[in-house]
């Protein structure tokens, strides 16, 4: 990379008529480009694989009973759905049938 001696910006090669000139936005121009090299490096990024199975990251409680299937284990999380002075709403998700319900205990 080459920098402008006037303002310090990066000098950009531009084509004017049939020659290439290195110019800056401040007006500085340099015709001698013998030590200027323009190169581009493209790196291949790692591919992302799709996972078909659903992975649960929530904690499990064994004190909840699913209203749909009666299973005793459920994932749970809390979300503040009302004003900040009100308690958070606790959501439960059955480990067996994936039914979601609110727990108001």
Active site residues: 85-86
Is-contact 99 69, C-beta < 8 A? yes
CA distance linking residue 1 with residue 22, whole number of Å: 11
């Amino acid at each position: 990379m080459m920098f402008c001696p006037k303002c310090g910006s990066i000098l950009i090669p531009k084509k004017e008529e049939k020659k290439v000139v290195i110019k800056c936005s401040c007006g500085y121009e340099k015709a001698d480009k013998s030590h200027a090299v323009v190169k581009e490096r493209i790196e291949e990024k790692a591919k992302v694989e799709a996972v078909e199975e659903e992975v649960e990251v929530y904690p499990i409680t064994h004190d909840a009973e699913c209203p749909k299937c009666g299973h005793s284990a459920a994932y749970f999380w809390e979300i503040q759905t009302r004003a900040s002075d009100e308690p958070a709403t606790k959501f439960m998700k059955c480990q067996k049938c994936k039914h979601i319900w609110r727990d108001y205990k």
